[in-house]
Amino acid sequence: MIELKDYSYDREQMVEQQIVKRGIKDKRVIEAMKKVPRHLFIDKVYQHQAYKDYPLPVGKGQTISQPYMVAVMTELLELKPEHTVLEVGTGSGYQTAILALLCAKVYTIERIAGLKEKAVQRLNRLGFRNIGFMVGDGSLGWPQFAPYDRIIVTAGAPKIPDALIKQLADNGRLVIPVGTEFYQTLNLVEKYKGRIYRKELFECTFVPLLGKEGWHKD
> Whole-angstrom Cα distance, residue 130 to residue 113?
20
Measured from the CB atom, the residue of 23 and 114 that comes closer to ligand SAH is: 114
Nearer to ligand SAH, 110 or 149 (CB): 110
Phi-psi region of 211 (alpha: psi -120 to 50; beta: other; left: phi over 0): left
In sequence order, which residues have a C-beta less than 8 Å from that of residue 117 and are 6 or more positions away?
none
Q: What is the end-to-end Cα distance of the chain in Å, rounded?
A: 44
**65 vs 187 by CB, closer to ligand SAH:** 65
CB of 138 to ligand SAH, least distance (A): 3
| d(C-alpha 207, C-alpha 218), whole Å | 17
Provide, rounded to whole angstroms, the least separation between the CB of residue 50 and ligand SAH: 12
How far is it, in rounded angstroms, from Cα 148 to Cα 2? 41
Got the DSSP string for 150-173?
A: EEEE-SBBSS--HHHHHTEEEEEE
Question: What is the rounded distance in angstroms from the CA atom of residue 11 to the CA atom of residue 19?
Answer: 11
Provide the 8-state DSSP code for 47: G
Question: What's the min distance (Å) between Cβ of 194 and ligand SAH?
Answer: 26
Nearest-CB residue to ligand SAH?
91
Give the max Cα distance, the chain: 57
Nearer to ligand SAH, 4 or 67 (CB): 67
Residues in contact with ligand SAH by the rule CB under 6 A = 58, 62-65, 88-89, 91-92, 94-95, 109-112, 115, 137-139, 154-155, 207, 209-211, 214
Q: From the CB of 140, what's the least distance to ligand SAH, in Å?
A: 8
- CB neighbour list of residue 24: distance below 8 Å, 6 or more residues apart: 30, 68, 71, 72, 75
Nearer to ligand SAH, 109 or 192 (CB): 109
Q: What value does the CA radius of gyration of the chain take, rounded to a whole number of Å?
A: 16
Which residue is catalytic, options 8, 65, 92, 139? 65
Q: Please report how close the Cβ of residue 35 comes to ligand SAH at its closest, in angstroms.
A: 15
Check if 92 is active-site. no
Q: Annotated active-site positions, please?
A: 65
